[in-house]
Structure 1
Amino acid sequence: MSKEKKNAFLVQGTILALASIMVRFVGIIYRIPLQRLLGDEGMGYYSTAYEIYSVLLILSSFSLPTAISKLVSTRVAKKEYENVRRLFFGGIVIAIVFGGIAAIVLYVFSDNLAHMFKFDESALALRTLAPTLFLVALMGVLRGFFQGFGSTVPTAISQIIEKIVQVALSLILCRHFLKLMAGEELKLSYAAMGATMGNCFGAIAGLLFLVFGYVSIAGFIKKKSRKQKKQIMGYKEIFTLMILTIIPVLLSTTVNNISNICDNFIVGNVLTIKGFSDTEIARMWGILSNKYRTFITLPVSVASALAVSTMPSMSKAVAVGDNKLAMNKIGLSVRFVYLFSAPCAVGVMILANPLLQLLYYDGVTGNEMGTYLLWIGCVTIILSSLVAITNAILQGLGHLNMPVIHCVIGLVVHIIVAVACMMIFNLSIYSIVVAEIALTVTVLILNFRFIFINYDYRQEIKRTFVIPSICAAIMGCFISATYYLLRIFTHSRVILLMIPFVVAVVVYFVMLFVLGGLNEQEIEQFPKGRYIIKFYKMLHLIK
């Protein structure tokens, strides 16, 4: 197999990663005008509804794309196209059942759920979000299906379409209901409902695009499926296999999200014992959940996108018994993630204050605390990204339960460290960031240890970790110098952020090539890689 084919999966990962960056970036920008429309109280209703919706989304269909892509890729590798077709229809049935049940539960019990969280005004928004659960479940099957065939393009485009439609209509409908209900007691409740309507319309747009994509290749798959005469799977076997594949992924995802719920509980209860007022606790939690986690989760979501695209490729290599190729993909994926996450961590650390000043310029004290949180927690960008990719590697190699076990162990460590830091060391909200570092370090050590022991695998160190770290450090020096030099001439928040960012990108990739962290063949694997090579040639870095 050619080196180009072996590395081609990085292109798919990069495409999905770029789409994830765009979607996340739009999501960050979207919260600024939404906050101005709804205010703190309205955002409380909106956020509460969205949190409840997110829990049901995880339980009903969040793991479907990963599970479907893994199962489909394995059958594609074996040329079992009839089984591929049956897996798709089986996935649709599961999506209809679980997505439908979740939607009905959310709609019927919206008042009860809102009351349980002490936000009765969120009930309207919850009811509006109910159909979205059903639509997202169907989208999950289609996205997993395309990824199983080795193409992340439909997923990437559908994500972008979904997000753009959601953001545009959310703001339009939110503003509409604010005007329509002006002077009414439930004005903000209806405005929050309008904001959540955008999610439903976005899901419809994304689903329509995916359905169109499937229809365009359905004939080809049906023609191929007629040639398969042996080893045809029954639907009972398919449903059993899907459930057994979904459950570990679901448990892993649930465990990861439980940590946020635990954090909320720990902060509220322990800080109350320590004498903090409800207002102080709410304010600190808001800074952590919005100003800190927004910038930490953005780069991590990119790594997660790469992780999702890695699993089908890994599963396919294992299915055909090509362990050498599987090990090669492990090395490439880990290296690719570190190449991306290391400069992100350095950039967030140095530009933390300019970022917060640009997007959240309404509170100096809040921005100061947010800056300190980002300084301490920027390393979790690297750690969480590596955890995401190693979890995907373990699942792709067939060890679906190991990420769950490791995450549970990490969660126990997380809780112990968080409580200890608050009770003994009086670190207040900073305890959560320290605990997140402890959690990711624990899971990462356990993941790598399992891979090393069971596959006699050793990660290449110099080009994976050493060179990117040196390049990121040099980049950091250039960012600092550029930022403080610009402050002499301008106080524009946009200029103070954007110019150092451009300098960072150029310096990092130039140094990466100069020090041997990337070569011309590897650059070609990136989308539009030939343009990057032209840039390097312009700088006379490539002959």
Structure 2
Amino acid sequence: MADSKLVRGTLILTASIFISKILGLIYIFPFQAIVGLEGLALYSFGYIPYTVLLSVATLGIPLAVSKFVSKYNALGDYETGRRLFKSGLIVMSITGLISFFILFLLAEPIANQVVDGKDLKGNTIDDVILTIRMVSVALLVVPIMSLIRGYFQGHQSMGPTAVSQVIEQIVRIIFILCLTFVIVHVMNGSIALAVAFATFGAFVGALGGLTVLLYYWFRRRVHLNNQLLESKVNHHLPLTSIYKELITYALPLSFVGLAIPLYQMIDLMTFNKALYGIGYDQVAVDKAFGAFSQAAHKLILIPVSIATAMSLTILPTITKSYINNDQTLLQRQVTQTYQIILYLTLPAAIGLSLLANPAYGALFGLEDIEIGAWILRYYAPVAVLFSIFAVTSAILQGINQQRFAVIGLLAGLIVKLSFNTFFLTQLGAVGAIYATGLGYLTSLGVNIWAIGKYGNYNYTFVLKRFLLISIFSLIMAVIVVVTKEAVSIVLPLENRLNAFIVLLVSVAVGGLVYLYLGIRSNLAGQILGSRFKFLNKKQRSQESGS
């Protein structure tokens, strides 16, 4: 039952996050057509500092609340979680307000750091300042919304989070595309102004997501209040004790949640200057950074969305198993988590890397395909590292060893910071990808070791599964390359339609081959068969025999 609930919760969140990522990817195509790669770079200049401040504003509290509520619910104490929720809304409102003022006031120093004010071409310092200040308004709403999501997740209810994420994304995208189109093509406004209003879409989307969460709250209020009446115990913890315990969860969680934003912040502060030093002008830097931080990054986050959903789902379930000292269930949950991540993300990342040219050409056009596909080819495999880091950090938090997730992240950031400028000057734009990969490998080394030692986890079985998945992925990779080359002979990558057909055929053939291998070997059935009965070869054989 617990395994089924884990998979069900994962599927709900995976679906919502996957839909959100797909929507976030799809809107980039018309958005880029309106503002170009330089506009995407400007969008990143504003959005990256925002994501960092957002993580600081929430201090990891939403996921910490999920863990806290799950823990006390398991003990039969629903009252303590409710008291935390009520006071947390006030705390999130205050931290959101403080973070808004900080980001608003830091806009100018950040702009001076990331843009060459001497170059009259490309994005200017004033453009970056306006963009940062427009996106900072979202900090007033998003922390509150995140806390409510965490409370629902603590009750192992993933629906509110899933629906609100999708609605938030839809509202944000409609606002961005409509307003930027009007500004550029109707009002003949500047690209910089259009991008600034695009970042303001984060605030508008957050209002949409918050509305959905409030709807769920009022709809389930009676049920949640009945749980309070059914509380078996009440620990009567003072708020000081509640927040002391919460902070022990939240601080490590806030660091882990900052992983990708902090890596991007290092790039934001070093990428441009390093490329200036080897002869890039502002326009070339804008295009490279736009492709790296937005176009390619959006694509690789699609397989990472699975890991994001897993990390949200497994935290309360593993916490419950750990609190109840159910080692057998805990080991099974960790094994299942590793298998799902590897089975789904490894072939996706490999395929995306091999199909970088048709993927970028089909989705973003052929104008900047040389730099865009080049970056995507190297960046795609890093998605596997992002994914495993997300779930291993969640596992460490679930077994109360979150300090190692922090240690691993800090070690990785030090490696990233130490090598980023060097790799950029030696390898060009892809140097930032090498530094990111090396940093995440360092973090994973710490996380995997800590889970083995403090979770008493034996990796033998997972390593065997990893080897089998790698073999299947390699076979798939060969088929994908052969298919791509064969179709490209008939339909060379000379236009967007040809690129789309090459991509579609290659993905279809590779996906079918990988699925066939998984079903034929019953690997797919053993990993996902409890939810997708058609994948379970043995069960199908038994049913047909009966």
TM-score, normalization: structure 1? 0.88
Q: How does 1:244-259 map to 2 (within 5 A)?
A: 244-259=248-263
Match in the other structure for 1:431: 431
1:319 is displaced (CA, Å) by 1.4
* Residue of 514, 517, 521 corresponding to 1:511: 517
1:177–1:194 Cα contact (<8 Å) kept? no
How many angstroms apart in 1 are the aligned matches of 2:453 and 2:66?
Answer: 27
- Structure-2 change in CA distance of 1:352 and 1:542 (3 Å): farther
- Structure-2 change in CA distance of 1:532 and 1:330 (3 Å): closer
1:198 is displaced (CA, Å) by 2.9
Match in the other structure for 1:479: 480
2:341–2:387 Cα contact (<8 Å) kept? yes
Match in the other structure for 1:496: 502
2:51–2:261 Cα contact (<8 Å) kept? no
1:346 is displaced (CA, Å) by 1.8
- Match of 2:428, SS? coil
- Structure-2 change in CA distance of 1:177 and 1:430 (3 Å): closer
- Match of 1:338, SS? helix
1:256–1:407 Cα contact (<8 Å) kept? no
2:37–2:286 Cα contact (<8 Å) kept? no
2:303–2:345 Cα contact (<8 Å) kept? yes
Query: Mean Cα displacement is larger for which, 412-421 or 235-244?
Result: 412-421
1:49–1:125 Cα contact (<8 Å) kept? yes
1:422 is displaced (CA, Å) by 5.1
1:129–1:200 Cα contact (<8 Å) kept? yes
Match in the other structure for 2:217: 214
Match in the other structure for 1:148: 154
Match in the other structure for 1:440: 440
1:532 is displaced (CA, Å) by 5.5
How many angstroms apart in 2 are the aligned matches of 1:110 and 1:411?
Answer: 23
How many angstroms apart in 1 are the aligned matches of 2:501 and 2:545?
Answer: 31
Aligned letter for 1:203? A
Match in the other structure for 1:387: 389
- Structure-2 change in CA distance of 1:450 and 1:47 (3 Å): closer
Identity of aligned residues (%): 25
Match status 1:30 vs 2:30: no
- Match of 1:496, SS? helix
1:306 is displaced (CA, Å) by 1.1
How many angstroms apart in 1 are the aligned matches of 2:258 and 2:160?
Answer: 26
Query: Mean Cα displacement is larger for which, 30-39 or 252-261?
Result: 252-261
2:404–2:446 Cα contact (<8 Å) kept? no
1:542 is displaced (CA, Å) by 9.8
Aligned letter for 1:213? Y
1:467–1:515 Cα contact (<8 Å) kept? no
- Structure-2 change in CA distance of 1:192 and 1:488 (3 Å): closer
1:62–1:140 Cα contact (<8 Å) kept? no
2:259–2:409 Cα contact (<8 Å) kept? yes
* Residue of 309, 312, 327 corresponding to 1:308: 312
- Match of 2:96, SS? helix
2:93–2:143 Cα contact (<8 Å) kept? yes
User: What are the ranges of 5 or more consecutive residues in structure 2 without an aligned counterpart?
Assistant: 116-124, 493-497
1:470 is displaced (CA, Å) by 1.8
- Structure-2 change in CA distance of 1:141 and 1:396 (3 Å): same
Match in the other structure for 2:417: 415
How many angstroms apart in 2 are the aligned matches of 1:435 and 1:541?
Answer: 52
How many angstroms apart in 2 are the aligned matches of 1:532 and 1:512?
Answer: 8
Query: Mean Cα displacement is larger for which, 337-346 or 497-506?
Result: 497-506
Query: Mean Cα displacement is larger for which, 157-166 or 26-35?
Result: 26-35
Match in the other structure for 1:288: 292
How many angstroms apart in 1 are the aligned matches of 2:545 and 2:130?
Answer: 59
1:255–1:408 Cα contact (<8 Å) kept? no
TM-score, normalization: structure 2? 0.88
1:144 is displaced (CA, Å) by 0.8
How many angstroms apart in 2 are the aligned matches of 1:414 and 1:113?
Answer: 20
Residues 140-173 of structure 1: per-residue CA shift (max 9 Å, x gap):
0111111111122221111111111111121112
Aligned letter for 2:400? G
Match status 1:12 vs 2:18: no
How many angstroms apart in 2 are the aligned matches of 1:68 and 1:16?
Answer: 17
- Structure-2 change in CA distance of 1:141 and 1:382 (3 Å): same
Match status 1:336 vs 2:337: no
- Structure-2 change in CA distance of 1:451 and 1:132 (3 Å): same
2:41–2:286 Cα contact (<8 Å) kept? no
How many angstroms apart in 1 are the aligned matches of 2:264 and 2:201?
Answer: 25
2:253–2:402 Cα contact (<8 Å) kept? yes
- Match of 1:429, SS? helix
1:125 is displaced (CA, Å) by 4.4
Match status 1:464 vs 2:461: no
Aligned letter for 2:195? A
1:443 is displaced (CA, Å) by 1.4
Query: Mean Cα displacement is larger for which, 168-177 or 276-285?
Result: 276-285
- Structure-2 change in CA distance of 1:43 and 1:419 (3 Å): closer
1:90–1:238 Cα contact (<8 Å) kept? no
1:420 is displaced (CA, Å) by 4.7
- Structure-2 change in CA distance of 1:490 and 1:96 (3 Å): same
1:170–1:195 Cα contact (<8 Å) kept? yes
1:69 is displaced (CA, Å) by 0.9
User: What are the ranges of 5 or more consecutive residues in structure 1 without an aligned counterpart?
Assistant: none
How many angstroms apart in 1 are the aligned matches of 2:277 and 2:487?
Answer: 46
Match in the other structure for 2:351: 347
1:433 is displaced (CA, Å) by 2.1
1:26 is displaced (CA, Å) by 1.2
1:181–1:190 Cα contact (<8 Å) kept? no
How many angstroms apart in 2 are the aligned matches of 1:230 and 1:295?
Answer: 47
Q: How does 1:87-106 map to 2 (within 5 A)?
A: 87-106=84-103
1:42 is displaced (CA, Å) by 4.6
Aligned letter for 1:226? L
How many angstroms apart in 1 are the aligned matches of 2:356 and 2:42?
Answer: 28
- Structure-2 change in CA distance of 1:511 and 1:463 (3 Å): farther
Aligned letter for 1:467? L
Aligned letter for 2:454? N
* Residue of 193, 197, 204 corresponding to 1:194: 197
Residues 80-106 of structure 1: per-residue CA shift (max 9 Å, x gap):
111121122122122111112223444
1:467 is displaced (CA, Å) by 1.9
1:487 is displaced (CA, Å) by 3.0
2:249–2:402 Cα contact (<8 Å) kept? yes
Residues 423-467 of structure 1: per-residue CA shift (max 9 Å, x gap):
6xx323332222222212211121111122223311213653122
Residues 394-431 of structure 1: per-residue CA shift (max 9 Å, x gap):
111111221111111122223334455456xx323332
1:533–1:542 Cα contact (<8 Å) kept? no
* Residue of 386, 397, 402 corresponding to 2:399: 397
